[in-house]
Amino acid sequence: MPGRTTHQLAGAIAGVGFAALDAKNQPTPHFCIEMIGGGFGGAAAGMLPDWLEPAVCSWHRGVCHSATAGGAVLYAKATLAQWAQSCRENADQSRVVPQILDVHTGEWLPMPQTPLQKFWAEFCEFVWRFLAGFLNGLAAGYVSHLLLDASTPRGIPLFA
């Protein structure tokens, strides 16, 4: 019977895989950050059914461990994908350098930034990209938990 470590590991692997699939068109550094986020999201969601329905007995599998819950999570994946895309857009905006108009030439020039401002912009970009991967890893981690539990002799209920 799969335990906590198995669910976390399977969730992390599923999360990394799904985040990588979703981020395949991103530049390599962004791809890597999203994969790391996917691993964390998958590991967390791989434990979510047991957090929602603790294993106090061998028959603890209710609605959160059901095939219906898995279907709902997969249905919600479309929303999670939209949120992940919003995170990517926020990450791109984090790195935009403010510009000022040079009144003599009429050109837009980048405003000078302090090292702290540059650090903050890079930090915000990292967090947004990590969150995009985390969101993509959530559904994969949750479903991996259900698949592991479905493979046991007791299986999972259809509805609960």
Rounded Cα–Cα distance for residues 42 and 9 (Å): 9
Task: Quote the pLDDT of residue 58.
Answer: 60
The residues that bridge with 101 in the sheet, in sequence order, are 108
Ranges of the chain with pLDDT below 50: none
Instruction: Give the dihedral of Cα atoms 132, 133, 136, 138; nearest 10 deg.
Output: -110
Rounded Cα–Cα distance for residues 85 and 97 (Å): 21
Task: Quote the pLDDT of residue 128.
Answer: 97
Task: Quote the pLDDT of residue 134.
Answer: 97
User: What SS3 class is residue 37?
Assistant: helix
Task: Quote the pLDDT of residue 133.
Answer: 97
- List pLDDT tens digits, range 4-27: 899 999 999 999 999 999 999 999
Q: DSSP class of residue 102?
A: -
Task: Quote the pLDDT of residue 4.
Answer: 83
Task: Quote the pLDDT of residue 97.
Answer: 80
pTM for the model: 0.84
Task: Quote the pLDDT of residue 112.
Answer: 86
Task: Quote the pLDDT of residue 122.
Answer: 94
Q: DSSP class of residue 43?
A: H
Task: Quote the pLDDT of residue 57.
Answer: 64
Task: Quote the pLDDT of residue 141.
Answer: 95
